[in-house]
Structure 1
């Protein structure tokens, strides 16, 4: 494949040739070879394809058949009721309703009793915006057996009755739905095509504790071309690398670090967390620790001090990072995988929910980079906007009273999505020998500061093969 008449950040009007999945030649006035695919970039920019370093693929694909019931689609109890009742009227009898993106600013804490006042005769499940909580109405509770479940994630009231709120029970609920609700796995292809149209060439799947069958199914979707991007999947040490069903394809599926999920209300003891990290390290894998509060970060830092740090250990989100933690993160070379889109998308809720004393520590970016900390970015879709250009845009602008020091240049913001799966904070370059995962983009990088939707992706290339052309 040959991309002609392109621009890079370093030079104008270059030609980029790709052979055998790699960039093989960069020059001027390169002539197309016989049988070689020829793309005339006509002055568009060619850059490394975007890698989303933290998202949840099946959850994102499932939103295609779901109702979004949080801001900006819903702001009140009336909005919530209207959305669910409209979907109830349109759905076939007995079919589950799946809603996502809920936040308490809409109608307060949702319980089965509240949901029953809106939809009674069909099962409803609503996912919280954080991804930590599912809220079920009584019909759904009956179908999956919530009332008789003894797992600690089942919330119960003072009388011992299940409220319909399930904390961190995605795997249990998924298994029960497989037994009770006749539904097919979400179609991953449309999600993959939308991402390719935005220049995305790779994903890091960050769902914790995926089973071997779930990992195998995701790998099969990559190998069979249902997902056209590369996928790097967080996994526990016992997960085996799935066999490649189509050897020779340049897209790939790899296993990544083990994710450790922390919640303030049920934190492990320090010895327990230290031993968990040590055991993962002994298996040869780094850890990716979910940290969205100051407490979670401090506990994680202490446990890593005790267990020892290995290359690739990372903090997921880093929603609250006090300045006094900068030196430790820098000196230990801990990666921080952040979401610049969240302070942009959730500004209204953060102003209300986050203590004034922690506002300056919320979703830091520019200050982390200035301190020499290694930072990359993901969207956390579907809990954040799945378009990485929204995150890139948010990283470059002052918004919501945020400290201007946290903003970065468009080139720096793009670099947050240019790393490899294994080295997310090391941006890839357009150079001979580099993997040919590329995006050809109309408009200057500066345009993203004005409007992320103004960025038009002309072509997306994975392993030297075009997966999107417009």
Structure 2
């Protein structure tokens, strides 16, 4: 394929020949016999976007789930559950709930709304499901629980149907996303082989980089990255975490440590310091970064993969719920970069919206849904925000370029560079190319 009149971020306007890799970049390249030709007409052409932290199967399942999070009201929440169809597993599956909708949930609340069908409602953090009595019976739990199940996706009786990935893949290609880092912890080789099979079949078009424990060997069709651990404040254990980091490093894997509180970040950094960091070590989210930890992050050389989109999606609730003195610490971006920390962006879909362009705008504007500015000092330029979605899968803060030898994964925009940077919107995506193949136009 030959792309003509492509504007690049470096200011050049060139032609680009792309196969499995980019094979030529320069002015006035001649089309070969039988070669497909796309005219970019001066539109910006970029390396395909890479979302550096997603939960693929959960996102695919969420497309078929009932959304019950803000801004729904109590009455809308009740109606949504009562009118929802059961899914292919025989459940009513609802996602995105927050207590601001209808207060704390438990089995009694759900039983009053839907007594006759199994219902499970996921808190928007992803850490907790709330089940009604019919659902609890289905997973073999009795009357001794209030229905609030914390980090229990591993229950043996939990539905295990693999959702179709084709519809999600199509949405992502419309955004110009050509690569994904699957960040669900604890996945087995069998889990990853199912994802690889979806790629081989063409159901999932994006390249896939998967977090996995050291014992998972090579899986054809996907690449393997860091091993992930989720920290929770009540169970923080520095010695255990340090030993886990050492085991992962000894097994040849970097680590990715989920940190959404300052306490978790303190313990994570202490463990990384004690175990000694390895190239590729990451902090996931870094939702709260006190100023006195900026130097530690920079010194240890870890990459922070963060999600400023939550400011745009949840910022008003942060303003209500988070102590005023901690608000400047939320979802830092600019301060991290200025401190010398390697930073990449992601959406954390389905817990955040899957549109990376919306995440870029959030990093630039820091505007809550009601229009308040949250963390003005953390704003970055449009170009910086865009670049943070262009990183290599194994090195998220090192941006790719439209250059000979790079993967043939490109996104073509209908707008020129300055207009594109001003807008940062998915509506500009006119073509997505993966491995030299036109996936959407």
State the TM-score, normalizing by the size of structure 2.
Answer: 0.95
Shift of 1:106: 0.9
Superposition map of 1:31-430 within 5 A:
31-72=30-71, 74=72, 76-87=73-84, 90-91=85-86, 95-147=90-142, 161-172=144-155, 175-178=156-159, 184-242=161-219, 244=220, 252-267=221-236, 269-399=237-367, 400-430=372-402
Counterpart contact for 2:43–2:417, Cα < 8 Å = no
| Partners of 1:171 and 1:212 in 2: CA distance | 15
State the TM-score, normalizing by the size of structure 1.
Answer: 0.90
Counterpart contact for 1:393–1:449, Cα < 8 Å = no
Shift of 1:410: 1.1
| Partners of 2:403 and 2:70 in 1: CA distance | 43
* SS of structure 2 residue aligned to 1:455: helix
Counterpart contact for 1:376–1:425, Cα < 8 Å = yes
| Partners of 1:55 and 1:95 in 2: CA distance | 26
CA offset digits 1:279-317 (Å, max 9, x no partner):
111101000000000000000111111111100111000
Shift of 1:217: 0.4
* SS of structure 2 residue aligned to 1:424: strand
| Partners of 2:420 and 2:356 in 1: CA distance | 11
Counterpart contact for 1:94–1:122, Cα < 8 Å = no
Of 433-442 and 199-208, the range deviating more from structure 2: 433-442
Counterpart contact for 2:42–2:416, Cα < 8 Å = no
| 2:432 alignment counterpart | 460
Counterpart contact for 1:201–1:229, Cα < 8 Å = yes
Residue segments in structure 2 that go unaligned for 5+ positions in a row: none
| Partners of 1:413 and 1:239 in 2: CA distance | 33
| Partners of 2:421 and 2:146 in 1: CA distance | 45
Instruction: Detail structure 1 runs of 4+ shifted over 6 Å in the superposition.
Output: none
Counterpart contact for 1:93–1:122, Cα < 8 Å = no
Counterpart contact for 1:410–1:448, Cα < 8 Å = no
| Partners of 2:137 and 2:423 in 1: CA distance | 47
Shift of 1:411: 0.9
Residue segments in structure 1 that go unaligned for 5+ positions in a row: 149-160, 245-251
CA RMSD, 1 decimal: 1.7
| Partners of 1:26 and 1:128 in 2: CA distance | 47
Could you say if the C-alpha distance between residues 404 and 444 of structure 1 is closer, same or farther in structure 2, counting changes exceeding 3 Å?
farther
